[in-house]
Amino acid sequence: EVDQLAGGFFAASLFPYLAFLAFIGDKRANCPPLALNGFRFLLVFVGATIPAGIAAKVYFNDILANVDVLHGSAESLLTITNLLIVEGFRRSFLAAASSGKVAKVTPRESLSALQVAGASSSVALLVAFGLTGGIAFHQEPANALSFVTWIIHVSSLLEWLAAMAYVWAYAEQADNARWRGLTWAMLPLHSSGLIACTYHFFYNHPSVGLLVVAQAALTTVGNACLAFAAFRISRDPKPMPDSVPSDSAVDSRALRHVWIQTCIWSVALSFAVKYGELWLNMPFEQSYTAATVLVLLPSALNAIKWLSRSKDSVVPHSLRQLF
């Protein structure tokens, strides 16, 4: 029943996403071409996940999340999707900056702050629950994600955060608030990714199977938010700057910086989660309460981050300084 319910939500989520692609692909939206191709490439990920799930059931008699080679291969397509989206908006930002247009938000600083906030909150949660739930070394279950698959998952989350930062910068360059709305629309999908990682943190245990349903439902909500945000962008007559870069407009050193940073964070956080959780009782004593905190706290930090960047922010100045 849980699988059927989640499958229904995932299937339903495709329709608002197709609407999003139609709106964001409108010429009036002026989405950077590479980023637009990234949004479209997500359909390849969706298309690959279906046969991968069938293969896991037929050949392994298990769910996709428990068959690491199929799971990791499918999820790598999501990483490519996010990479294209980030690179598309990032190249646009750098091209505009090189022509004298300076954004009010520096994406590199935004990404760094988000990564530090995510890392520190994750470590704090692991320590807190480890102290309350007990610390003891456990044998890793057979269905645990491989180190490579964890890197794929974590890098996808960080890339999505980077995409949010560059979309915001793109809005600041054009002084177009509707593009900032797209950053807010991306927030539920980041939380959806956190739910997926939390499910894997608990070794995909059936006792927390409703997390998959929550992930699917939030994906549907997130895609609907994307569609609405893209609709507003495509209907905004305010002109956007011509920011499609030529190869000479982009500093190759700037292009490498964020990816090196993201790779380091992805490897470090993946190592900490995969091998650090073996010393905690929490992953082996599944709890929806713990799962909720693991999802809501990073999501709240992410929301506060963008709320603090808003022109009419209600976040106290002392708190804004942290972001």
Q: What is the pLDDT of residues 52-71, one digit of tens each?
A: 999 999 999 999 999 999 99
Distance CA 174, CA 11 (A): 35
- Label residue 69 exposed, middle or buried (CB < 10 Å: 0-12, 13-18, 19+): middle
Distance CA 173, CA 184 (A): 17
pTM, to two decimals: 0.86
Which of 76, 40, 71 lies closest to 55, judged by CA?
71
AA letter at 244: V
- Rounded to an integer, what is the distance from CA 276 to the centroid of its chain? 22
pLDDT of residue 134: 57
Lowest mean pLDDT, pick from 8-17, 174-183, 314-323: 314-323
Confidence tier at 150 by pLDDT (50, 70, 90): very high
DSSP β-bridge partners for residue 280? 135
Distance CA 95, CA 91 (A): 6
Distance CA 193, CA 191 (A): 5
Distance CA 167, CA 308 (A): 16
DSSP 194-239: HHHHHHHHTTT-GGGTHHHHHHHHHHHHHHHHHHHHHHHHHT--SP
Distance CA 103, CA 249 (A): 16
- Label residue 139 exposed, middle or buried (CB < 10 Å: 0-12, 13-18, 19+): exposed
Contact 227, 186 (CB under 8 A): no
Confidence tier at 38 by pLDDT (50, 70, 90): very high
Which of 233, 249, 262 lies closest to 91, judged by CA?
249
Q: Mind listing the pLDDT tens digit for each residue in 224-265?
A: 999 999 999 998 756 555 544 443 344 455 556 677 888 888
pLDDT of residue 197: 95
Other Cβ atoms within 10 Å of 194 Cβ, number:
24
pLDDT at 284 over 80: yes
